[in-house]
Structures are given as structure tokens and as C-alpha cells.
Amino acid sequence: MDLINIKGNTFYIKGGTNTGVYIYNDNTALIIDPGLSGLRPKRIINILENDNINLKFIINTHEHNDHYGACNQFREFYKDVNILCSQYAKLYIEHPSLFSKYIIGGKSNEFMDERLRSKCLEQTYIDEVLNEGIVNLNNEDFKVIDFKGHTPGSIGILTKDKVLFVGDLLIGLNMFEKYDFLFLYDLKEYINSLDKLRNIDFEYIVASHSKDLITKKESEKIIKNHEAAVYKYVNQIKEELNTPMGVEVLLKNIILKNSLKCNYKEYHFFKSSLISVISYLASLQEIDYILSQGELLYYTKRK
């Protein structure tokens, strides 16, 4: 595990969830997305300690525990660290059971909780809420960018070195080839966030789940890949719904036709994304529903 310099004061540490590190001139640091708890944060702490770097801030790009799960492990070591995120993300980070209830659609169960159970030392508390715009931390300005879509609380962080940490707005091509049915909460907001990304002045992107940095030049191709994936499933679902169909059958068809592999958790993630597509199509008034013999069926409107 290495602290890799991207440009200027901006670094990152590769992992299952890439962790951003901004090192101030006074040898203090800001971490972006500490990841899950366990051995990894211990190794990151060792890296910081070996260079006499004191951690002052943690920013979580959104409310999924593979991004914020290690916060308490850092707080246990760095007593005065300040933990920050968006207002919506704060709600879910401070009440992690809400996520499993949301993804199930009711009270959660052991099948889901076993896979989502956080290894946090205790409940995580957020010290400061971030809003879109400029935030000054330790006399340095960072730009907070609203990137709703993957989750309602997703944000990006742009450093003065023009390095942009986007959380899960984009995923690396290596993962994209396996999981092109993206885990999305709000399709319309996600499409808007991808378009917003095009107009930001950055040189490098750090996506949380990518083996490589993304340059400004490379980003357009990756954005187009993500947009194409979104519309691929939108159009596929519209086609499926030419025959009235319930959600479970529709999801089965989507999984089989796209050879999507999933466990219990990922099945519900796919189902959540499917509901997001249905909500998107309903907002465009392209689908409708009927209740037939106790079953809710959606169908594509005929033009």
C-alpha cells in the first residue's frame, strides 16, 4: 500500500475503495472516503504516522459504508479529527440501519444485514455538513460539487490541484465491464450529474472503484460509456414492458438477458436500480400500470 502523488498536495491510496489524501503544508491531512474498517485503515494510519502527518479532516462522498465505514477507526486514533459529508449522507451514516431498510423496502432481515453489517467500532457521528460550493478547511479552499444520482447525498471534492474525487459517480472500466447495470437511486439526477461533470475544470478524476486515474481527456469516453449503459437498460426495460409485467419477473428477465451475476445483496441492488428506471419512465409518462388479480403490472404506453 502506497501514498501515490497525483499532483501538488493531492495524493491517493489504491484499494477496493480508493482513498484520497490531501496533505497540507503544515503536515496535517484531509482524507476523502476512508473505506471499510479493518486492516486497511490501520495501514493508512501507519503511512501517515511514518511521515509525521496528523489527520484533521475526513470527507465522505456519500452514504455507503464501503466509503465511510472506517471513520471511527480513524477517530479512535486521531481524537480531534472532524468528519464531514452532505446533509442527506449524514442521515444515513448516523443511522446505518436505514440503508438496509431502504434497500429491502421494509424491515430488514438477517440475509441482508449479514452482508451489509458494518464493522464500525460504534455509531459514526458527523461533525459538519457540506453544501455545494467552496468550503475552507485549514485555510485551504475545496470545491464541493453536488453529484446526486448514485445516492441522494453524493458529492464530489475538487482540490486546488484540479484533482476531482467523484465517489461512485463513475466506476472504472474494469468494474464497468462486470456491472454495467449501475446501482442508482435517481436516474434523472444521475444523468444531470454526468453532464455537470463535463463542465468542471479538472485535470484528473479519482473514481472510488477504479484501478486507474482518469484524465480530463479520457473522461468524456467514460462518461459516454456510463450514459450508454443507463439508456441501454432504459430501452431494454421499455421493450420488456411491451407485455405487462411485474417487477420480479422483469428483474429476472434483465438479469438473465444480461448475464448479471448477483448474491442476495446485489439482487436487491439490481432491484433498486430497476425501480429507479421505472420511476424515471413514469416521470416521462412512458409507462403505466394495472392491478390484475392481486398483481401490480407495469407496461409501456403505446404511441
The full set of domain ranges for the chain reads 4-219, 231-300
Residues linked to residue 292 through DSSP beta bridges, in sequence order = 295
Same fold, 4-219 and 231-300: no
H or E stretch at 113: helix 110-116
- What pLDDT is recorded for position 177? 75
pLDDT at 117: 66
- Contacts of residue 175, defined as CB under 8 A and 6 or more positions apart, other chains included, come to 209, 210
d(CA 20, CA 73): 17
pLDDT tens readout for residues 5-37? 999 999 999 999 999 999 999 999 999 999 999
pLDDT of residue 120: 52
Q: Cell 485535470 appears where? A: 203
Q: Which residues 6+ apart lie within 8 Å of 201 measured at CB? A: 162
- Under 8 Å between Cβ of 34 and 41: yes
Angle CA 286–291–296, to nearest 5: 70
d(CA 303, CA 61): 41
Say which CATH class 231-300 falls into. mainly alpha
pLDDT of residue 266: 93
Specify the pLDDT at position 12. Answer: 98
Task: Give the separation between CA 121 and CA 38, rounded to whole angstroms.
Answer: 10
Spans of the chain below 50 pLDDT: none
pLDDT for the residue numbered 118: 54
Burial 27-59 (b: 16+ CB within 10 A, else e): ebbbbbbbbbbeebbeebbeebeeeebebbbbb
Q: Domain 4-219: give its CATH superfamily.
A: Ribonuclease Z/Hydroxyacylglutathione hydrolase-like (3.60.15.10)
d(CA 45, CA 150): 29
